[in-house]
Amino acid sequence: MDKQKAIIVLSGGMDSGVLLADYSRKVDFAAALFFYYGSKHNDKEMKCAESLAETYNVSLKKIELPFIGELFNSSLLASSDEEIPEGHYAEENMKSTVVPFRNGIMLSIAAGFAESADADLILLGSHAGDHTIYPDCRPEFNAAFAEAVKHGTYNHVKMSAPYSNITKTDIARIGYEIDFPFEQTWTCYKGKEIHCGKCGSCTERKEALSCDGHTDPTTYEV
Amino acid sequence: MDKQKAIIVLSGGMDSGVLLADYSRKVDFAAALFFYYGSKHNDKEMKCAESLAETYNVSLKKIELPFIGELFNSSLLASSDEEIPEGHYAEENMKSTVVPFRNGIMLSIAAGFAESADADLILLGSHAGDHTIYPDCRPEFNAAFAEAVKHGTYNHVKMSAPYSNITKTDIARIGYEIDFPFEQTWTCYKGKEIHCGKCGSCTERKEALSCDGHTDPTTYEV
Q: Mean pLDDT, to the nearest integer, of A155-161?
A: 92
Looking at residue B120, its pLDDT comes to 95
- Where b means 16+ CB within 10 Å and e means fewer, B116-142 reads bbebbbbbbbbbbbbbebbbbbbeebb
How high is the mean pLDDT of chain B? 93
Alpha helices, DSSP H only, in chain A?
Answer: 14-23, 42-55, 66-71, 102-116, 139-151, 168-177, 200-209
Which of A63, A102, A144 has its CB closest to that of B112? Answer: A102
Contacts of A66 in chain B (CB under 8 A): 64
ipTM higher than the 0.90 cut: yes
On the question of pLDDT at A12 being above 80, the answer is: yes
Contacts 24+ apart (CB under 8 A), B133-136: B133/B89, B133/B90, B133/B94, B133/B95, B133/B97, B133/B98, B134/B98, B134/B103, B135/A151, B135/A152, B135/A153, B135/A154, B135/B98, B136/A151, B136/A152, B136/A153, B136/B101, B136/B102, B136/B103, B136/B104
**Cβ burial A155-183 (10 Å sphere, 16+ → b, else e):** bebbbbbbbbeebbbbbbbbbeeeebebe
- Each residue's pLDDT tens digit, B126-172: 998 877 688 888 899 999 999 999 999 987 899 999 999 999 999 99
Chain B contact for A108, CB < 8 A? Answer: yes
Asked whether residue A183 carries a pLDDT value surpassing 80, the answer given is: yes
Cα Dmax for chain A: 52
Interface with A, mutate which of B35, B59, B71 (most A CBs under 10 A): B71
Query: What pLDDT is recorded for position B90?
Result: 63
Mean pLDDT computed over A206-210:
97
- Look at residue A130 in the predicted model and tell me its pLDDT: 76
pTM score above 0.80: yes
pLDDT at B1: 66
Residues 142-171 of B with CB under 8 A from A: 144-145, 147-154
Condensed to tens digits (0 to 9), the pLDDT of residues A76-101 reads: 888 888 888 887 766 677 788 888 99
A109 close to A63: Cβ distance less than 8 angstroms = yes
Those residues whose C-beta lies under 8 Å from the C-beta of residue A218, and which sit 6 or more positions away, are A182, A183, A187, A195, A205, A206, A209
Is A138 within 8 Å of chain B by CB? yes
Q: What is d(CA B139, CA B162) in angstroms, rounded to the nearest whole number?
A: 11
Q: How far is CA B113 from the centre of its chain?
A: 18
* Chain A CB within 8 Å of residue B59 CB: no
Residue A36's pLDDT is what?
95
C-alpha separations of B165 from A63, A164, B56, B130, B131 in Å? 35, 35, 25, 10, 10
Cα separation, A15 vs A152, in Å, equals: 27
Q: Kindly list the domain boundaries of chain B, sorted by start residue.
A: 5-213
Return the pLDDT at B194: 96
What integer is the mean pLDDT of B41-59? 97
In this predicted structure, what is the pLDDT of residue B74? 85
Q: Which residues of chain B are within 8 Å of residue A101 when distances are taken between CB atoms?
A: 108-109, 111-112, 115, 149, 152-153
B153 with A115: Cβ contact below 8 A? no
Contacts of B148 in chain A (CB under 8 A): 104, 141, 144-145, 147-148
pLDDT, average across residues A135-147? 93
CATH class of B5-213: alpha beta
> A36: nearest CA in chain B?
B67
pLDDT at B94: 77
- Looking at CA atoms only, how far is residue B210 from chain A in angstroms? 31
Q: With beta carbons under 8 A apart, name residues in chain B contacting A67.
A: 63-64, 109
CA distance A118 to A194: 39
